[in-house]
Amino acid sequence: MIKIMKYGEVANDEIFARSVPEVDVAGIVSDIIADVRARGDAALLDYCEKFDHVRLEALEVSPAELDAAIAKVEPEFIDVLETAAANIRAFHEKQVRTSFIIAEKDGMVMGQKVIPLDRVGLYVPGGTAAYPSTVLMDAIPAKIAGCGEIVMVTPPARDGSVNPAILAAAKVAGVSRVFKVGGAQAVAALAYGTDSVPCVDKIVGPGNAFVAEAKKQVFGRVSIDMIAGPSEILVVADGHSNPRQVAADMLSQAEHDKMASAVLVTDSMALAEAVRDEIDRQVKALPRFEIASASIDVNGKIIVADTLDAAIDIANAIAPEHLELCLDNPFDYLDRIRHAGSIFMGRNCPEALGDYLAGPNHTLPTGGTARFYSPLSVDDFVKKSQYTYFTAAALEAVSGKIARFARKEGLEGHARSVLSRFE
């Protein structure tokens, strides 16, 4: 049963669980990466057999496989995918940055080019659940950014197939190629390339502890979006909130993973007790009862604060992945929220709305990293180059100042490189 405690009984940095691996994840991942670099496709096929229990003939999903899988998906779900994709596009198109040029002074031109990445890799989890929503959330911003190629990796089923809903989402989102490989070995393949899997410039998408560690280890060879941990939700609710709805929202995150954290902060002890009872009742009816109940029992918390202002302070202190403001006037508090991945406003905005259909991205910073990381966006799929042009007259006008600056730093060669042009 979920614990109820008063504010101050648990330290802010302990409100969300921080998992500690029971095995040497870093060492195992390092060995897998080295093996993939050395043996390429052969290593990937061996790991598929070891971890996914299937011996594949080929790693890439063929056009015929793609068409056959999509044909198995009910038209009603394709319509849902199209609706979600349209909303995601509409939101992310507002994020597009443009290049700029400055030519306001005679003889001087400066500017910045915004350039899409050539090729990006999307990791889509398999495991205990398949997430076509992640395909849409990760691929559509890359497509809007103008990336030349979008490569997706996802673990195969035991029959060697890929979940049809995931492939349907890949088709809707504009994914270029799909490969049947998961885990740290998939990350290694994207980072270093094999005969089948092309190397990419950036890897994005959530995964388990081994995937997260692999992304960490290949960073520098490629870019990554973030190191994602278990899912988190913090619900800030006042005494007027519906306990049945609050409990359901918390369980929506608890069912993700046994290490997921679902926390309620409220100024009402009556609501706290009612939500506790609702969680205890509702969790028993969930198909993923074992996962959700473990998450709630180990990591779930209900914290009773003296005021809603104190609840907002807690939110900022722990920087949650998902933050629900189940309040009468949520916009009164929005300006005070400084650290949260995605904020859900009011009583009619469950976090599940953001997971699937609203449009804002659901690939979000976890583990308190919302203090300095942002949700996945179009910005993640572009880079910038800057350029400068000066005429001889423009350079001569500032040459003395450049030389003085260079000599202050003890770099005479810098000074002479400028002054030599006017000797």
Give the CA dihedral 133, 137, 142, 144, nearest 10 degrees: 110
Instruction: With CA atoms as reference, report the closest residue to 163 among 178, 142, 141, 184.
Output: 178
Q: How many CA atoms lie within 13 A of 252 on its CB side?
A: 19
- Give kind and range of the element (H or E) at residue 57: none
Catalytic residue among 65, 213, 278, 321: 321
Catalytic residue among 92, 256, 322, 362: 322
93 a catalytic residue: no
CB-side exposure of 180: number of CA atoms within 13 Å? 28
3-state secondary structure of 163: coil
User: Which residues lie below 8 Å from residue 135, measured CB to CB, with a gap of 6+?
Assistant: 122, 124, 152, 166, 169, 170, 173, 175
Q: Is 322 a catalytic residue?
A: yes
Rounded to the nearest 10 degrees, the angle between the axes of helix 183-192 and helix 209-218 is 20
Handedness of CA 9, 11, 12, 16 (dihedral sign): negative
Give catalytic residue positions.
321-322
